[in-house]
Structure 1
């Protein structure tokens, strides 16, 4: 349920079963006379999440298509978040959560190996690996990648398979190179200062090894024309139309926000309105959404919705502010990676990416108490 859409039908079935079994689990505990107490940090978290949802809700009723926006609102704010309460309130021990996290890391490492191998075998410009979308993979990898380095570096906690995690990190980077998705590169680079700072404090030799590995990857990219040119193109908004069209859409998005600053056009309606009434000739591709969490939210839900999103993101950084705790550092970096990719892609619209973020958030909120 936190992977890319390898089989969306099967994924939804298992996701529904997970929710059903979780509710039955809570009911059985209640019938057994157990008294539930929600920790203060969890209460506060869901209150802020509720505020975020409430600030977006008016855009549903003023949407150009209220029915569609309502279904998207329910999916975004109710359907996807079940991953978090399941992890927070399921009666399992910390070791089980660690094993689940290890399996997820292992899967993404294998996907990275497959993606890189596919690119070498096919000589293609980009490869999908086991998934069916470069942008989903970029967000998921940027969210989970920090856990591999932090858990390999730290001496404060035990974690199964720790010595293999640096290998998993290398495979994830290879996968990102194989997919050629620049936003994943940006997301990975964005978390490194936080990880390396803590690494040089706690494990300077291992941190130096990470820097050496990064230098090797840098030389590999420099010596590979396709990767070198793609890396340089990150800042190219003229001849690279993938970038240029995004910028043109963002400019028009600002005008659309001025047209409906308080209500927006409705959740996921901004792109349709843009194509029908606002698109300029400068947008050569005809983007159907704004490729940015922040522009998309502002256009869809107005300034109140954007405010809600920013408040929620800032709260998550505050929630994981104790960076000396390895699990808080992982949670903090997971949100940094997700937000960095979200500058260039609409990751909030990707169900698998958001569920991956909830998975990492839930694991870190549960495990930080064990340090």
Structure 2
């Protein structure tokens, strides 16, 4: 990384030094109308003092034409990154900003390679999408462009992160089952090393406790994010003889397996047991029998929010910390 890249001044700094708004500074530097001659001189002197030389992408963003943003993902299959990418592109506006997608495949060396390549292309900002919602290390080094972390938050509280509200997703699932008259609710989820698994369980338990209820067996059953685990876990519940009339599954894949096991065990869904998943992944939900009710994490909205925060950061600091995007229940036949 060159010294020039490290020292690139921002439009906000130029505006502050000149004592004007960012909009006025932008108009003065781009020879727009409705700017006093004295103000134009003051802004240009401030820009010269700060060695402010915006690259062409930044200049075009100011002019509302074309820009370039990098999106680095660790999600090889695109399961989570593609909806986020679509949301980001929607927020930036068709034809205004190009988003360069780089797949790091969970490899820190590959991630560093892509980061350097994006910086050489003079991108105006970077969105980093994790493959799970566990906090991740921030990008190394002093970067000349703003970064927003999406899906997986940065470990640093000084960074800007946008994540799904997994606790809220669990709460929504439990509230939905309670609203349909279920009172004996079980919960099976995925890998206990995932933050999302525990946060979703916390949301479910909190809602049940408000109603004076508790989970069947007293605790969640953690395992894997797979249909096989869904079948295995439900088989265990049925063999244990614990009666339940509602089942929250930590993912739609788990729920698909759970539906198979309930059918094999002679339970009718939704008459005997209401089943709800999380993710609203259509290959799982629409292809299920019966079609699966699920909590949609609003990943496209998450992408739009990440893009908006990145756009804000291009002009000056955005609000640091974790921004959570709420989900919604999509009701289908299983409840």
TM score, norm. by length of structure 2 = 0.22
State which structure, 1 or 2, has the greater radius of gyration over its C-alpha atoms. 2
